[in-house]
Amino acid sequence: MIRSARFLLSLAFAALAGTAQAAGPASSNSLTALRVEHQLSSLGTDGIQRDVRFAERVYRQGDRVWIARELPPASAHAEQEHDHANAHAGHKHADTDAAPRWIERDAKGALTVRVVSVSQQKNYAVEPAEYSNIGFDGSWATAYHLLDPAALKGMRAEGPVRNGVQTYRSTQGERTVTVDWDVAGQYPRRVESRNATGTQRKLTRVTALPAPAAAPWERAQRYAAADYTDLMD
């Protein structure tokens, strides 16, 4: 459910980039940590309100991005028990819905995408055909900046930059998207998409966090390599 919600958010915001041509700004060599809160709300014709909320931590530096779901402490214990039980049964297991995604870009722009199992200490390489299974749309700019900066070229700037933030707005059909863009950090502090009647709303809020002493991929570099397709055996 969360994987689907995350992918729906990416699809909603990716539509903005339809007329964009320019590439986004170069990646920064400094380690940046961001907390990303997602909310999806819909009111169905059956009168039922459906809400989904989840948060992720995004770490980015140079040509590396690490995206990890925030999980309650009890879920980590449950995963360990599940892995222990499956180990005795001879089954492979990795919760790819909740597992961190590690994305790297080389000098030619080619991507290496991995799903990281901390409990198994394995990095599962994901091929482009399987990107949708992990909620990744294949865009480096979206992974790094959370919203492709090129998409802003197709939006209307609302007034001047205030407190380091430029607001953009776009209306396509019955949907309106508003972006509060952090000019220095090159990421959206807030993205809201809603329909004209207010029955469908997607909201993302982003806050900067203190950078950790070490990037999360430093430990993962020591993990064993495996293929994502192994999980489908």
224-227 and 122-126 beta bridge pairing: parallel
Written as one string, the DSSP assignment of 147-164 is: S-GGGGGGSEEEEEEETT
Q: Which fold has domain 2-228?
A: outer membrane lipoprotein receptor (LolB), chain A (2.50.20)
From CA 167, how far away is CA 181, in angstroms rounded?
Answer: 6
* Token pair listed for 194: 């809603």
pLDDT tens for 51-71 read 999 999 999 999 999 999 999
Q: Which pLDDT value is given to residue 90?
A: 41
- Judged against a pLDDT cut of 70, whether residue 130 lies above it is answered with yes
Please write the tens of the pLDDT for every residue from 139-175. 999 999 999 999 999 999 999 999 999 999 999 999 9
What does the alpha-carbon distance between residue 48 and residue 46 come to, in Å, rounded to a whole number?
6
pLDDT of 126 strictly over 50: yes
- How much of the chain, in percent, has pLDDT values that exceed 90? 72
What residue ranges do the domains of the chain occupy? 2-228
Is residue 89 over pLDDT 50? no
- At residue 69, the pLDDT reads 95
Q: Are 130 and 228 in contact (CB under 8 A)?
A: yes
Q: In the prediction, which pLDDT does 25 show? A: 56
- Confidence (pLDDT) at 24: 46
